[in-house]
Amino acid sequence: MSSMGYQNGIQWQTQEDAEMDVLVEQMHNLIVWNDDVNTFDHVINSLVEICDHYPEQAEQCALIIHHKGKCGVKKGTFEILRPQAEALIDRGIQATIDY
């Protein structure tokens, strides 16, 4: 049996088993959007420093952002992704978290 709910803007689901309820947090995507302002190097360096990407991974994401208009650069809980999104935004990079 499972039930759904919301707490502090975060969707959660409990799954009951014989002994305990388990909290299952919804995973989200941190999305970086293309713009005409930031350089490849700035985006790549920011992804390495903020999102713990390897340089090659950050470069691939920057190319996807440039060609496709956006890229999901990180997956995680809202609590993990929010400070990373805010740090990217502080650097002038457009970033959102999907729901």
* CATH number of the domain enclosing 48: 3.30.1390.10
For residue 94, pLDDT beyond 60: yes
pLDDT of residue 99: 82
- Examine residue 13 and state whether it is found in any structural domain, yes or no: no
Q: pLDDT-based confidence at 15, cuts 50/70/90?
A: low
Q: What is the pTM of this model?
A: 0.75
Three-state secondary-structure class, residue 98: coil
- Examine residue 6 and state whether it is found in any structural domain, yes or no: no
Adjacent-strand bridge partners of 75: 29
- Examine residue 5 and state whether it is found in any structural domain, yes or no: no
pLDDT of residue 25: 75
Distance CA 19, CA 68 (A): 47
Average pLDDT over residues 6-22: 51
Task: Give how many domains the chain has, as a whole number.
Answer: 1
For residue 6, pLDDT beyond 60: no
**Domain of 79, in residue numbers:** 26-97
- Examine residue 64 and state whether it is found in any structural domain, yes or no: yes
Average pLDDT over residues 69-90: 97
